[in-house]
Structure 1
């Protein structure tokens, strides 16, 4: 089949500026191509990236995009301008159109709207009724699926399918847990909603022989909290053994950090912002035991005391609770390794090949149903 993927207006592919969605679809598109499908991937243009090129069997087309603005109104406007340009690049004989952009499904003609898979990677905000002609509403977690159901009548729920995010890499080496270092790791945007203050406060009360490495962008244009927020985090860290590396977009380097870390902490407090959490999944694949906040989205792949730990971030004692969870893993090596050995099972459950096959199955189902409807009309 011929598949078109329309990426958003603000992050290019390859994911040289990061972006979880971009990382996932960059690799997923290539897996589609490896399975014998024709793939066109439309994304934002960026210096040093060609307007058109082929990589690993995927045809990449890039159109003018933008840096992420601080204003939501401006963001929607720029996304509209980008989407108008992006949809013009869709092949006329396409079978499936996958997109996570707000405007693209609405700008397509009537015939193309019936070929759209809207990838809902965030909690909806009342807009799902706009996509009534899209045959497939794919979401990455149970949490988002439940939210979509609340916005649609029951007879429309059959269009919703949960396909989790895949790991953006595969064929990982065997983990030697004895080689793991006394390193706690955080990877993600440096933004107040990520609960990084909780992590720093908890870490400062613990074993001084451990190191905390914080990786991620702070610039507003890449979703961070800005330079003043970064400064406040460094002031809070003081002289503790905490390293701020800045953003790491090189996947090989990031994998090295995952490989040496023993524990991964993701204390997000974004009640309406987190929908999956790719970074914890990546860390698990490298044998890092995840400690995450008590957000429903993490429960799809993290089971408390089975392959990770969950702490109550809503508690008045959240810092103490997080500290106890970290300390437990620091002091009990056998328990930590037991959880880590379970965590690496995501290599199979969330592999690119397995997740991509789920997408293809759904695409084929939609195409078959459309053919059946056409035959009935005839």
Structure 2
């Protein structure tokens, strides 16, 4: 009987951003192997085939039915993979794991990184000490996405077994999209949140030399998005910065492929799936050292910077002056680098080995 991986996640809808990409890709790849995998969640997209547990919206994502659903699906080969740290599904899954002597893995997804821990600091540290540390003790393996995250988790928890596996992307080698933009633009695509550095990006874009190139902001509208749009209006940048709204499927792919460069000036991130997605379309990517990407990113067509205004302005100016050939060559170089270091094609075996070791 194959090992059965049960992914515990409160939200894998499109609004969850890179979390959805990582969890759903992992689920899909495992089901293509000799392992069995499923996702139990409180929120998904209409056409997803994951197991949905109905729940009322509440601050902890509590659902009395979640425990019942997980326990019904257990068998002697089950492994519980907890995604995230702050919500009821992870809490109850850890208790189920201990009660039934079922091994568990927990992926923090960067939620215990210092920048995010300092947001609502008192509440998070209370939860960490009262509830989360007991969850971590019950977890057999903690999965870290970067070396930096691994070190931070160890310093915080002293957990004896922390395994590092980077975020991975499934690269479609048959992709035929070419760089052929109708107008030159820089692209940000992702979840609108202060941690993503979008306000910094707007301020930097205001100061760049090229006043003709556009900035496209793509993502779901939320309260933070509205504050960014107010900032753009206040600065009089409406003609240079376009809020595109949400995009998915081929529409999203075309946006990636035709960008002069993709930019994600995050203050805290664990690789960031959008960086890998953009690179998979042979698009140069500007992001930050805070993402935990290999420093070789800088030598393979991409740009790693610190999330400060001067560095971002300087790098955007470099990108804006790239000729088409340089832009294409950088994109190809970064694509090859991601294929080798961050793709399911090359690194997917690490997950199979980890699950089979339990």
The TM-score with structure 2 as length reference comes to 0.81
Q: Which moved more, 1:170-179 or 1:281-290?
A: 170-179
SS of equivalent residue, structure 1 residue 93 = coil
Give per-residue Cα distances to partners, 1:42-74, cap 9 Å, x unaligned.
Answer: 122568458xx5xxxxxx32111466xxxxxx5
Alignment of 1:209-248 (within 5 A): 209-220=212-223, 225=224, 227-236=226-235, 238-248=237-247
**CA 1:65 to 1:349, structure 2 compared with 1: closer, same or farther past 3 Å?**
farther
Structure 2 unaligned runs (5+)? 85-89, 118-127
Alignment of 1:104-119 (within 5 A): 104-110=92-98, 112=100, 114-119=102-107
Shift of residue 309, structure 1, vs aligned partner: 1.4
1:326 to 316, 329, 334: 316
Give the Cα separation in 1 of the matches to 2:352 and 2:173: 21
Give the Cα separation in 1 of the matches to 2:357 and 2:273: 27
Shift of residue 269, structure 1, vs aligned partner: 2.7
The corresponding residue for 1:193 is: 195
Give per-residue Cα distances to partners, 1:250-276, cap 9 Å, x unaligned.
Answer: 232211111111201111234xxx222
SS of equivalent residue, structure 1 residue 40 = strand
SS of equivalent residue, structure 1 residue 170 = coil
**CA 1:177 to 1:365, structure 2 compared with 1: closer, same or farther past 3 Å?**
same
Give the Cα separation in 2 of the matches to 1:309 and 1:335: 14
**CA 1:188 to 1:113, structure 2 compared with 1: closer, same or farther past 3 Å?**
farther
SS of equivalent residue, structure 1 residue 32 = helix
**CA 1:122 to 1:66, structure 2 compared with 1: closer, same or farther past 3 Å?**
farther
Shift of residue 170, structure 1, vs aligned partner: 3.0
Contact 1:4 1:90 in 2 (8 A): no
Alignment of 1:84-103 (within 5 A): 84-101=67-84, 102-103=90-91
The corresponding residue for 1:375 is: none
SS of equivalent residue, structure 1 residue 103 = helix
**CA 1:313 to 1:149, structure 2 compared with 1: closer, same or farther past 3 Å?**
same
The corresponding residue for 2:335 is: 344
Contact 1:211 1:241 in 2 (8 A): yes
Contact 1:165 1:278 in 2 (8 A): yes
Shift of residue 25, structure 1, vs aligned partner: 1.9
Give per-residue Cα distances to partners, 1:96-126, cap 9 Å, x unaligned.
Answer: 2212143144221535454111122124264
Contact 1:129 1:151 in 2 (8 A): no
Shift of residue 236, structure 1, vs aligned partner: 3.1
**CA 1:115 to 1:211, structure 2 compared with 1: closer, same or farther past 3 Å?**
same
Alignment of 1:126-141 (within 5 A): 126=128, 127-128=132-133, 130-141=135-146
2:37 to 36, 39, 54: 39
The corresponding residue for 1:149 is: 154
Give the Cα separation in 1 of the matches to 2:211 and 2:170: 33
CA RMSD of aligned residues (A): 2.9
Number of positions where the alignment pairs a residue of Structure 1 with one of Structure 2: 332
The TM-score with structure 1 as length reference comes to 0.77
2:266 to 265, 268, 271: 268
Contact 1:4 1:98 in 2 (8 A): yes
Structure 1 unaligned runs (5+)? 54-59, 68-73, 367-378
Alignment of 1:271-310 (within 5 A): 274-295=269-290, 297-300=291-294, 303-310=297-304
SS of equivalent residue, structure 2 residue 209 = coil
Contact 2:179 2:258 in 1 (8 A): no
